[in-house]
Amino acid sequence: MKDFLVPAPKTIVELIKPAIIKRLTVEKRGQGDGKHYKPFLTVRDVPSKGRVHRRPALTHGRIVHLLSDLELSTFLLFDWNLSVTDIKEQFPLDPEKTAKISERLGIPHPAVSGVTQVMTTDLLLDTLQNNKVVQVAISVKYSDELEDVRVIEKQELERRYWESLGIQWYLFTENEVPFILIQNIKWLLPHMHSYDLNKASQIDVFNAVNEAILTHPSDKIAVVMKYLDDQYKVDGGTYLSYLRHLLAQNAFTWDLMNINHKSLNSLDLKASDFWIDKEHEYVHA
């Protein structure tokens, strides 16, 4: 798939600006895996109509470049998914292949002032399916953008490109992003590495929280955590922060898809059997 990067085909060199070729070859944009991947486009390369985001990924720890709020939400959805092993954002498509597809379909290829542009896919995922790595391509578009015929044409070029490589391609709009799940993930993410507890502290905090939850099964979770703050004479909010850390560590689980964290009751939480049996894997900061 990456053969087009080095060297660039002669026909494409003649069509694309040297600055773009340099980005592909010298700067090695669109190359690498995991934390070593370099996106073809960064938040500095493309003017955005909305907000752009740079944030560390759980999947590989690299700072990712996301060009809209919707891209951020879609990224968070897959970054949280344990079956996703790598995410490459703003992934460049082979311009020679997209040019041929464009010509065959009779769809104008993206160009600026007559200069052919390199098309990109918003997210390219490596997913683990039946112990095999399967790639999945994701295009992210707001639904109102799809009312533009030109946007639809470019989406078709992108879809046909991935189809020719035997890779599944999906279009994500705001209608495909589960709002409650994304809000819950955003609530948990800052607390994934908020503490670096040793083994004894992990179990002590887990046991204290679990006992409090079982003792007050019908109370709001924030109220139960306040009980613990008072019991252990610590600053207000300490145990709620502990709980968010434990939730991010999967020490407790709940229906993230349907129950917003603001509505959590003790009854909604289930302690992890791995934590109860002290067989869990703790993610250190």
For residue 46, give Cα distances in angstroms to 49, 52, 93, 118, 136: 10, 10, 17, 13, 24
Q: 64: helix, coil or strand?
A: strand
What pLDDT score was predicted for residue 6?
Answer: 41
For residue 242, give Cα distances in angstroms to 45, 201, 223, 279: 39, 11, 14, 19
Residues 136 and 228 both lie in one domain:
no
Residues 143 and 197 both lie in one domain:
no
Domain range enclosing 92: 10-177
Residues 211 and 253 both lie in one domain:
yes
Q: Of the candidates 177, 206, 236, which is a domain's last residue?
A: 177
Residues 35 and 75 both lie in one domain:
yes
Residues 132 and 207 both lie in one domain:
no
Q: Is residue 134 part of a domain?
A: yes
Q: Of the candidates 177, 211, 239, which is a domain's last residue?
A: 177
Q: Of the candidates 114, 143, 177, which is a domain's last residue?
A: 177
Which tokens sit at 196? 């670096």
CATH number at residue 93: 3.40.1350.10
Q: Is residue 283 part of a domain?
A: no
Residues 93 and 202 both lie in one domain:
no
**What is this structure's pTM?**
0.85
For residue 215, give Cα distances in angstroms to 120, 177, 218, 227, 243: 53, 36, 9, 11, 16
Q: Tens-of-pLDDT digits for all 285 residues of the chain? A: 444 444 444 444 444 566 677 777 777 888 999 999 999 888 777 665 568 899 899 999 999 999 899 999 999 999 999 999 999 999 999 988 999 999 999 999 998 777 788 899 999 999 999 999 999 999 999 999 999 999 999 999 999 999 999 999 999 999 999 999 999 999 999 998 888 888 899 999 999 999 999 999 999 999 999 999 999 999 999 999 999 999 999 999 999 999 999 999 999 999 999 999 998 888 875
Residues 149 and 20 both lie in one domain:
yes
Q: Is residue 5 part of a domain?
A: no
Residues 210 and 262 both lie in one domain:
yes
Give exposure, 24-52, as e/b (b: 16+ Cβ within 10 Å): beeeebbbeeeeebbbbbbbeeeeeeeeb
CATH number at residue 261: 1.10.10.10
Q: Which strand ranges, in their side-by-side order, compose the sheet holding 168-172?
A: 84-92, 120-129, 132-140, 168-172
Residues 269 and 145 both lie in one domain:
no
Q: Is residue 3 part of a domain?
A: no
Give the number of domains in the chain: 2
Nearest CA to 259 out of 187, 154, 204 is that of 187
Q: Is residue 113 part of a domain?
A: yes
Residues 207 and 158 both lie in one domain:
no
Residues 64 and 150 both lie in one domain:
yes
Residues 166 and 247 both lie in one domain:
no
Q: Is residue 284 part of a domain?
A: no
Q: Is residue 281 part of a domain?
A: no
